[in-house]
């Protein structure tokens, strides 16, 4: 089975005043078309850097090594002009902070339309119609009226929907969502997750969902890789990980989750030095072989 | 919106009044205020005549009230030197200065935006370093010295530009260039800083993730946001333009507020000096209000407050 | 390894332990600027007693001696002015005046503006409003105009010059420190001090002031260049100082009448002004750059490698 995305031995370094920071080390994973995968880890585990690296957005002070093969083409070391073609149309990114991600001085309609006009060469009229349609698709009520509003006039949840609308405007094959719900209320969170699943179903696009929250990961993904200290420490099907965690870090992560224990006294903080433990891979026979069916977990 | 304008104007007028009051007291600090108004070799009788005429022998409070009364009537006294009301002299000196300042400021903004954006988008590379160094150097050049060196080079050595005068584009080139030094030097850095900040913002990251070109990111996404602090700074520099005008008229004999003020100092005409301070103050206040309004128009987040 | 241990540290050494010095050594411009300013300050402090008389001595036979020759001695290498005084020495004398004026004007305005801003921001109310109005007034009048007016009234002297320059620059520091105080005032650590019964002056001194000091310091560095230019402008117009106090602006003004015949009298003092103001600006620019985590990287390694610099 050929995968949509195949990451092999991804390594990212940052050069800082204190020295070289090894942000990501030896990360490898495959993703098939239509699949949804979660990358779970705490802050500093390298999960966000990994998602940025997929689009070549690591920046001036970072150094990327390894292979990122998307639709048969390795994106590492590719010139910026080619990366631009892939961004938005092949792989798209949704950021955590939706207020920050939207330009405060342009209307949301203008920002969505711009993508279509500039990347696809559409006319103003046609782009506006599609922008309207996209806003409705992501569930923004009164889209006709709100298309002329500015980002600061929307609530957090609405803004995130707009960001999603912008991300899917070019119908990408892969959507990477970097903690898109972390800053939102729980109820809004559920709606966004529902939206993402619906969009996936409609378009068949793959999803990489980055989060620190295992419970959220469980709601949205079928597969999961757990990152700690820049490395992948465990990978497998979501249910397997939950029921039979093998790596000490995964176990600690689960034990630290308030939803998993009976009393707060049973909560355990995650010990510091768990990356020394060797990463654990799911045995080959447990990895999915074909398109994954929906796993309903209460959405 | 209207309430805002009114409020700012009122504050502004209070400020200008404060300015004028300060200048008033400034004129009364020395033991013999008349000395500020009269030529140095004036006779004792002249002094006494002056004192009575202008009520300088009255108690300070009375003087102050008379002065305020004058201000309200827009009467700043009569200029001995110019043989006309001081306020009239000040007002008629404004147009050339405004013209000079407007042109210099507009050109400075254009140049700074171009250079600053270039520097920001090629950050840390040689062009950026050259532009940064260049703008720091420009900001370090004293305007009066620059004017003199230009006169030396262009007028005396090469003979292509006039050393003084008002008519013809020729006569405006060096004065405008001189007045552009400080703004360009400072604003280029401000533009660069604002652009760098805009370029490292979330929305530019997002736009980059959507595959837009660097050029588009800089000129369409970042610049529009960077324009706001640039506007602020340009407004701030407006007051500084008068400084430039003063120097320029001292060196190029360019008519305007600069010439008037320098002349007032040389000719010991404190009335004109007071009136000039008043007129300039009002102009600066008006300009600030305009800048604030423009800011409100340009930034949608402010508009709805 | 925990997250912090993933940082690969470079070999230990003197420069590693003093990161600021290391960054300075990687930046030749900043180094040169520091060297120049130190040189200037030292010369200004040490030289005047030795060369003061020489500098002011009018040797009419040496009027308008051109520069770049050593025929008349080392001190005439930059030429002489209309009264035969050696330019080089006059410039050095001017250095003392200019640096003194700049230093005190900046120091006084920074400290005063900072203090008033903190007090104003902390107490708020009518005091704050009144102080802000005063700051507005000072800010509205162009500084040169105000200085003209003040020095017209008062006699030109170093003290008055410093005073006028200091006063016109206060609003800048006042606004900045007030804005920061307003923000800091609401922070938890201030709240807790208040809850523990600390008196206002103590809170301002111990909690608030140290937090806004770095910004003020950066601002002050930036201002040094501006003040040098402003002082020179005033002296040039003839209202800043009078002889025997000599300052660079005054020297430039001296040469104005002889521009076509003795250009060096005007040009050289101006060049020194440019270099000095530039040095101050370069240093303040460098100080800001090293405080920015992204930029400071470039001062650690000489040049970023190609692979690191993506668009």
Tens of pLDDT, residues C154-176: 777 888 889 989 998 999 899 88
Question: What pLDDT is stored for residue C292 in this prediction?
Answer: 67
**Is any Cβ of chain A less than 8 angstroms from the Cβ of C301?**
yes
pLDDT band per the 50, 70, 90 thresholds, residue C66 = confident
Question: What pLDDT is stored for residue C1 in this prediction?
Answer: 41
Integer Cα distance of C257 and C251 in angstroms: 11
End-to-end CA distance of chain C: 32
Within 197-226 of B, beta carbons closer than 8 Å to C belong to: 200, 214
The distance of A146 to chain C (nearest Cα, Å) reads 34
B206 neighbourhood in chain A, CB within 8 Å: 93, 95, 101-102, 163, 166
Give residues with Cβ within 8 angstroms of A46, minimum separation 6. A12, A23, A24, A25, A27, A227, A229, A230, A231
Q: What are φ and ψ of residue A175, in 5° steps?
A: -115, 125
Average pLDDT, chain B: 83
A166:B206 CB<8 A: yes
Which range, of A31-45, A285-299, B257-271, averages the lowest pLDDT? Answer: A285-299
C259 neighbourhood in chain B, CB within 8 Å: 148, 151-152, 156
Question: What pLDDT is stored for residue B305 in this prediction?
Answer: 43
Tens of pLDDT, residues A99-123: 889 999 999 999 999 999 999 999 9
3-state secondary structure chain A: CCCCEEEEEEEEEEEECCEEEEEEEEEEEEECCCCEEEEECCCCCCHHHHHHHHCCCCCCCEEEEEEEEECCEECCCCCHHHHHHHECCCEEEECCCHHHHCCCCCCHHHHHHHHHHHHHCCCHHHHHHHHHHHHHHCCCCCHHHHCCCCHHHCCHHHHHHHHHHHHHCCCCCEEEEECCCCCCCHHHHHHHHHHHHHHHHHHCCEEEEEECCHHHHHHHCCEEEEEECCEEEEEEEHHHHHHCCCCHHHHHHHHCCHHHCCCHHHCCCCCCCCCCCCCECCCHHHCCCCCCCCCCCCC
The distance of C45 to chain B (nearest Cα, Å) reads 23
pLDDT band per the 50, 70, 90 thresholds, residue A70 = very high
Question: What pLDDT is stored for residue A1 in this prediction?
Answer: 47
Report CA C257 to chain centroid distance, whole Å.
30
Nearest CA in chain B to C136: B15
Question: What pLDDT is stored for residue C279 in this prediction?
Answer: 94
Question: What pLDDT is stored for residue A122 in this prediction?
Answer: 94
Question: What pLDDT is stored for residue A15 in this prediction?
Answer: 79
**Is any Cβ of chain B less than 8 angstroms from the Cβ of A9?**
no
pLDDT band per the 50, 70, 90 thresholds, residue A296 = very low
Question: What pLDDT is stored for residue C295 in this prediction?
Answer: 60
Question: What pLDDT is stored for residue C310 in this prediction?
Answer: 35
pLDDT band per the 50, 70, 90 thresholds, residue A2 = low
Number of C-beta neighbours around residue B184 at 10 A: 24
Which chains sit next to A, with 3 or more Cβ pairs under 8 A?
A: B, C
Question: What pLDDT is stored for residue A280 in this prediction?
Answer: 56
Question: What pLDDT is stored for residue A289 in this prediction?
Answer: 39
C311 neighbourhood in chain B, CB within 8 Å: 214
C1:A229 CB<8 A: yes
Question: What pLDDT is stored for residue C298 in this prediction?
Answer: 55
Question: What pLDDT is stored for residue C3 in this prediction?
Answer: 47
B47 CB-contact burial (10 Å; exposed 0-12 / middle 13-18 / buried 19+): middle
Q: What are φ and ψ of residue B12, in 5° steps?
A: -60, -45
Question: What pLDDT is stored for residue A288 in this prediction?
Answer: 42
Give residues with Cβ within 8 angstroms of B246, minimum separation 6. B257, B258, B261, B262, C142, C144, C145, C148, C237
Which chains sit next to B, with 3 or more Cβ pairs under 8 A?
A: A, C
Is residue A45 pLDDT above 90, yes or no? no
Q: What integer is the mean pLDDT of B139-154?
A: 90
Of residues B119 and A292, the one with the higher pLDDT is B119
Question: What pLDDT is stored for residue A135 in this prediction?
Answer: 94
Q: Point out the residue among A87, A106, A152 whose CB comes nearest to the CB of B210.
A: A87
Sign, CA dihedral A134-A138-A139-A142, equals: negative
pLDDT band per the 50, 70, 90 thresholds, residue B113 = very high
Question: What pLDDT is stored for residue C309 in this prediction?
Answer: 36
Is residue C308 pLDDT above 60, yes or no? no
Q: What integer is the mean pLDDT of B134-152?
A: 92
Average pLDDT, chain C: 81
Tens of pLDDT, residues C72-103: 777 788 888 888 888 888 888 889 888 899 99
Question: What pLDDT is stored for residue C307 in this prediction?
Answer: 34
Tens of pLDDT, residues A200-256: 989 999 999 999 888 888 888 999 999 988 888 888 888 888 888 888 888 887 777
Question: What pLDDT is stored for residue C141 in this prediction?
Answer: 82
Strand partners, A37: A208, A223
Question: What pLDDT is stored for residue B237 in this prediction?
Answer: 83
Is residue A63 pLDDT above 70, yes or no? yes
Is residue B231 pLDDT above 90, yes or no? no
C149 neighbourhood in chain B, CB within 8 Å: 23, 26, 273, 277
**Is any Cβ of chain C less than 8 angstroms from the Cβ of A278?**
no
pLDDT band per the 50, 70, 90 thresholds, residue C203 = confident
Q: Point out the residue among A115, A150, A152 whose CB comes nearest to the CB of B210.
A: A115
Please give the share of chain C, as a percent, with pLDDT higher than 90.
16
pLDDT band per the 50, 70, 90 thresholds, residue C64 = confident
Do the strands A19-31 and A5-16 form a parallel or antiparallel pair, or are they unpaired? antiparallel
Is residue A284 pLDDT above 80, yes or no? no
Is residue A291 pLDDT above 80, yes or no? no
Please give the share of chain B, as a percent, with pLDDT higher than 90.
18
Question: What pLDDT is stored for residue A91 in this prediction?
Answer: 94
Tokens of A64: 């990327």
Of residues C208 and C251, the one with the higher pLDDT is C251
Please give the share of chain A, as a percent, with pLDDT higher than 70.
85
C1:A63 CB<8 A: no
Question: What pLDDT is stored for residue C18 in this prediction?
Answer: 65
pLDDT band per the 50, 70, 90 thresholds, residue A170 = very high
Tokens of B57: 């022998």
Average pLDDT, chain A: 84
Q: What is the pTM of this model?
A: 0.79
C3:A18 CB<8 A: no
The distance of C203 to chain B (nearest Cα, Å) reads 32
């Amino acid at each position: 089975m050929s995968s949509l995305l195949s990451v092999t031995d991804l390594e990212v370094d940052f050069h800082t005043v204190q020295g070289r920071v090894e942000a990501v080390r030896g990360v490898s994973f495959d993703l098939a078309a239509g699949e949804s995968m979660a990358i779970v880890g705490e802050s500093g585990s390298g999960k966000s850097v990994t998602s940025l690296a997929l689009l070549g957005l690591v920046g001036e002070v970072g150094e990327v090594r390894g292979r990122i093969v998307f639709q048969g083409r390795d994106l590492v070391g590719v010139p910026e002009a080619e990366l631009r073609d892939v961004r938005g149309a092949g792989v798209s990114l949704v950021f955590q902070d939706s207020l920050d991600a939207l330009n405060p001085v342009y209307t949301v309609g203008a920002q969505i339309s711009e993508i279509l006009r500039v990347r696809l060469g559409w006319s103003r009229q046609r782009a506006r119609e599609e922008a309207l349609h996209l806003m409705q698709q992501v569930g923004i009520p009164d889209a006709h009226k709100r298309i002329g509003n500015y980002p600061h006039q929307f609530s957090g949840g609405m803004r995130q929907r707009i960001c999603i609308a912008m991300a899917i405007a070019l119908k990408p094959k892969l959507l990477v969502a970097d903690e898109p719900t972390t800053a939102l209320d729980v109820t809004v969170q559920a709606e966004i997750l529902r939206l993402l699943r619906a969009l996936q179903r409609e378009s068949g696009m793959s999803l990489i969902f980055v989060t620190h929250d295992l419970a959220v990961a469980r709601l949205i993904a079928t597969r999961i890789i757990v990152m700690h200290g820049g490395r992948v420490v465990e990978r497998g099907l979501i249910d397997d990980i939950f029921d039979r965690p093998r790596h000490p870090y995964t176990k600690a992560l689960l034990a630290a989750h308030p939803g998993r224990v009976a009393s707060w006294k049973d909560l355990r903080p995650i010990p510091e030095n768990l990356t020394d433990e060797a990463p654990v891979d799911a045995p080959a026979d447990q990895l999915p072989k074909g398109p994954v069916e929906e796993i309903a977990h209460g959405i | 919106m209207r309430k805002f304008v009114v409020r700012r104007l009122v504050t502004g007028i209070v400020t200008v009044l404060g300015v004028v009051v300060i200048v008033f007291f400034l004129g009364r600090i020395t033991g013999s205020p008349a000395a500020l108004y009269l030529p140095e070799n004036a006779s004792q009788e002249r002094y006494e005549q002056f004192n009575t005429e202008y009520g300088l022998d009255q108690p300070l409070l009375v003087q102050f009230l008379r002065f305020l009364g004058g201000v309200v009537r827009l009467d700043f006294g009569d200029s001995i030197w110019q043989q006309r009301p001081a306020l009239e002299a000040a007002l008629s000196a404004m147009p050339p200065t405004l013209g000079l300042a407007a042109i210099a400021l507009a050109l400075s903004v254009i140049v700074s935006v171009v250079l600053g954006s270039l520097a920001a988008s090629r950050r840390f590379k040689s062009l950026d370093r050259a532009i940064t160094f260049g703008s720091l150097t420009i900001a370090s050049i004293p305007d009066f010295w620059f004017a003199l060196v230009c006169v030396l080079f262009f007028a005396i050595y090469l003979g292509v530009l006039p050393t003084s005068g008002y008519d013809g584009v020729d006569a405006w080139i060096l004065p405008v260039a001189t007045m552009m030094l400080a703004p360009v030097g400072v604003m280029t850095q401000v533009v660069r800083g604002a652009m760098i900040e805009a370029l490292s913002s979330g929305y530019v990251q997002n736009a980059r993730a959507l595959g837009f070109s660097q050029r588009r990111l800089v000129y369409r996404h970042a610049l529009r946001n960077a324009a706001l602090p640039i506007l602020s700074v340009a407004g701030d520099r407006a007051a500084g333009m008068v400084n430039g005008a003063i120097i320029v008229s001292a060196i190029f004999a360019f008519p305007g507020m600069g010439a008037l003020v320098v002349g007032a100092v040389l000719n010991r005409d404190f009335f004109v000096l007071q009136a000039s301070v008043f007129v300039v103050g009002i102009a600066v206040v008006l300009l600030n209000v305009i800048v604030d309004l423009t800011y409100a128009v340009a930034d949608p987040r402010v508009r709805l407050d | 390894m925990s997250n912090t241990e993933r940082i690969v540290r470079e070999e230990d050494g003197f420069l590693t332990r003093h990161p600021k010095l290391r960054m300075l050594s990687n930046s030749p411009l900043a180094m040169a600027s520091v060297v120049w300013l130190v040189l200037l300050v030292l010369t200004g402090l040490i030289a005047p007693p030795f060369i003061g008389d020489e500098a002011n001595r009018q040797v009419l036979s040496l009027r308008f001696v051109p520069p770049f020759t050593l025929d008349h001695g080392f001190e005439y290498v930059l030429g002489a002015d209309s009264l035969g005084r050696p330019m080089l020495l006059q410039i050095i004398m001017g250095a003392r005046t200019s640096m003194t004026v700049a230093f005190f004007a900046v120091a006084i305005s920074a400290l005063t503006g900072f203090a008033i801003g903190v007090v104003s921001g902390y107490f708020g109310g009518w005091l704050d409003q009144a102080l802000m109005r005063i700051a507005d007034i000072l800010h509205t009048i162009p500084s040169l105009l105000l200085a003209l007016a003040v020095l017209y009234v008062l006699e030109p002297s170093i003290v008055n010059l410093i005073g006028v320059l200091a006063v016109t620059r206060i609003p800048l520091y006042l606004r900045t420190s007030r804005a920061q105080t307003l923000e800091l005032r609401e922070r938890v650590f201030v709240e807790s001090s208040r809850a523990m019964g600390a008196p206002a002056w103590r809170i301002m001194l111990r909690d608030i002031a140290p937090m806004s000091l770095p910004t003020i310091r950066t601002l002050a560095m930036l201002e040094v260049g501006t003040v040098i230019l402003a002082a020179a402008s005033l002296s040039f117009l003839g209202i800043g100082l009078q002889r025997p106090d000599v300052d660079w602006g005054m020297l430039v003004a001296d040469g104005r009448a002889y521009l076509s015949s003795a250009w060096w009298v005007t040009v050289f003092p101006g060049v020194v002004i440019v270099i000095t103001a530039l040095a101050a600006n370069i240093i303040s620019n460098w100080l800001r750059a090293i405080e920015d985590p992204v930029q400071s990287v470039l001062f650690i390694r000489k040049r970023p490698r190609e692979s690191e610099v993506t668009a």
